[in-house]
Copies of this chain bind each other. A is one copy, B any other.
C-alpha cells in the first residue's frame, strides 16, 4: 500500500558502493560483499547479472576470480544503477508507453507522474559512487 524502492535496487546500490570502496583491490568475491553488506550471496548473484550486462561490472571465474568495476566510481551515478534495476525511470507505465492507456491524450495527470519521475531521477543522477564513498568515509570518522 505504499510506493517503495525494491530491495533489488537498494541492495544493488550497496553492492556497487561496496565495490567502489574496494576499487583497485583486484577481483572481489560476492561472498565478501554479502558478508559486509549482510545480504545473501544468492540474491546478490541475481542482482549482479543486469549490472554486468550493462557493462558496469566485469567478472573472472576460478581461483583469484571475482568481480571488478568496469568504470571508475566517478563515472557511475545512482540513476544508472536504480534506473537499470528498477527497469526504467518512470513511476507510471503511461509515461513511456503512450499506448497502454486510451486516455493519454486527455489525461492531465500523466504529465504529473512524468514530472515526479524526472524530479526523482534527476536528483539521483547528480550523485556518483565516488560521492557515496566520500560520504561513507565521513560517516565513519565520526
Interface residues of A (CB under 8 A from B): 1-6, 8-10, 13-14, 17, 38, 78, 86-88, 91-93, 103, 105-106, 108-109, 111-113, 115-117, 119-120, 122-124, 127, 132, 135-136, 139-140
CA A4 – CA B105 in complex, angstroms? 21
CA A127 – CA B113 in complex, angstroms? 11
CB of B113 within 8 A of CB of A10, answer yes
Q: Provide the main secondary structure of the chain A interface.
A: helix
Chain B residues within an 8 Å CB radius of A111 = 135
CA A9 – CA B119 in complex, angstroms? 18
CB of A132 within 8 A of CB of B112, answer yes
Of B13, B92, B115, B123, which is within 8 A of A4 by CB?
B92
